[in-house]
Amino acid sequence: MEPILKRVSETPILLPELTSSWECAHVFNPGVIYHRGLFHMFYRAQGLDQISRIGYAISENGIHWNRSRHPVLVPSYSYEAWGVEDPRVVEIEGTFYMTYTAYGPPQGQPTIAGGAIVPMVARSSNLIHWERLAPIVHGEDNKDHVLFPKRLKDWFVAVHRPRPWIALAFSKDLRDWPRERMVKLLGPRDDNWWDNVSVGANGVPIETDHGWLLFYHAYDRQRVYRFGVALLDLDDPRQVRSRPKDPVFWPEMAWEKFGNVPNVVFSCANIVVGDSVYVFYGGADHVIGLAVAPLQEVIDFALHG
């Protein structure tokens, strides 16, 4: 089987910066937005203290990047003292939003990662200064959250992940996300070879004629991470219209199989530029890669497998 997404090169497109104290160890799991002819990347970085910060880089082609010497988001509150992680970025009605995972000392019930996890939403008018709004939920192992690029019937819609499911949440103001409106969307498939343990969303869902195209990640009992796709109803994304059996991408290169965490491809960005989808991803929680496919091919696969 061949993956639908094709790597743009044999090598990663971004590596740790060995001269930097905050990003010398790992760079991974970037959120990317294409705005006025430039790619803007927000990437998770770890350095000497192993705490995640969000770095910023820009590019004309998505392959060669100019990075800022300083991170754009750093831990600023106790609930994120251990790191700000896995940013996903979207523009809605002229404002930019970043959803990221705040990681900090345990508060009540510890999560699978040991500390407390808070799925945060922040906003910006210039992509550099980020104002924290509120978390989608409190007190549970919930991350992999990302906003739809537009309001649906006046509601902001978020995909999130109350382990091991992907779910939807709705908000009028991006601060209050009523529990009673949350619905499960798709879960692990016990009998399927690659997405049988846990699933979570990748980047911002893509609006297509056939529905919302959702890229997601999953892992199996060997903890190999792969990507899949699903189509959600355009008017009512709580309805899953199709979900092929097989994945669209998986670890194959040495730098995806070996690094900080083995056998991981993990994506927070699937953006459409021209006729293609650009999927930026972390390889083995250590470097950043890029894989691309014609959007139409991904839609055909999502519809027919």
Angstrom distances, CA of residue 233 to CA of 119, 146, 175, 204? 25, 17, 25, 15
Chain centroid to Cα 4, Å, comes to 19
Q: Which two tokens stand for residue 35?
A: 């705005």
Q: Hey, which bits of 47-141 come out as E strands?
A: 53-59, 66-67, 83-92, 95-104, 116-124, 131-135
Is the Cβ of residue 7 or residue 143 nearer to ligand BMA in the bound state?
A: 143
Taking CB under 6 A as the rule, does residue 83 contact ligand BMA?
A: no
3-state helix, strand, coil in the chain (%, to 5): 5, 50, 45
Whose CA is closest to 26, among 41, 7, 42, 48? 48
**DSSP bridge partners of 42:** 31, 56
Region binding ligand BMA by CB under 6 A among candidate stretches 151-159, 178-186, 261-269, 286-294? 261-269
Taking CB under 6 A as the rule, does residue 80 contact ligand BMA?
A: no
Region binding ligand BMA by CB under 6 A among candidate stretches 12-20, 147-155, 157-165, 260-268? 260-268
- Footprint of ligand BMA on 190-229 (CB under 6 A): none
Question: For ligand BMA, how many residues bind (rule: CB under 6 A)?
Answer: 9
Taking CB under 6 A as the rule, does residue 171 contact ligand BMA?
A: no
Taking CB under 6 A as the rule, does residue 29 contact ligand BMA?
A: yes
The residue within the footprint of ligand BMA, chosen from 16, 20, 285, 295 (CB under 6 A), is 285
Give me the long-range contacts of 152-158 (CB less than 8 A, separation at least 24). 152/235, 152/237, 156/92, 157/237, 158/99, 158/121
* DSSP SS3 for 30: strand
The residue within the footprint of ligand BMA, chosen from 23, 80, 85, 195 (CB under 6 A), is 85
Region binding ligand BMA by CB under 6 A among candidate stretches 17-25, 69-77, 258-266, 267-275? 258-266
Q: H-helix or E-strand containing 219? A: strand 211-219
Q: In angstroms, what is the minimal distance from the CB of 182 to ligand BMA?
A: 20
Site of tokens 């994945």 = 247
Q: In angstroms, what is the minimal distance from the CB of 52 to ligand BMA?
A: 8
Q: In angstroms, what is the minimal distance from the CB of 86 to ligand BMA?
A: 5
The residue within the footprint of ligand BMA, chosen from 80, 86, 195, 256 (CB under 6 A), is 86
Taking CB under 6 A as the rule, does residue 256 contact ligand BMA?
A: no
Taking CB under 6 A as the rule, does residue 96 contact ligand BMA?
A: no
**Buried b / exposed e along 5-16 (16+ C-beta atoms within 10 A):** bebeeeebbbeb
Region binding ligand BMA by CB under 6 A among candidate stretches 90-98, 153-161, 202-210, 259-267? 259-267
Is the Cβ of residue 26 or residue 40 nearer to ligand BMA in the bound state?
A: 26
Q: H-helix or E-strand containing 130? A: none
Residues 99-138 as x/- pattern, contact with ligand BMA by CB under 6 A: ----------------------------------------
Whether omega for the bond prior to residue 162 falls within 30 degrees of 0, making it cis, is no
Which positions lie near ligand BMA, rule CB under 6 A? 29, 85-86, 143, 261, 264, 266, 282, 285
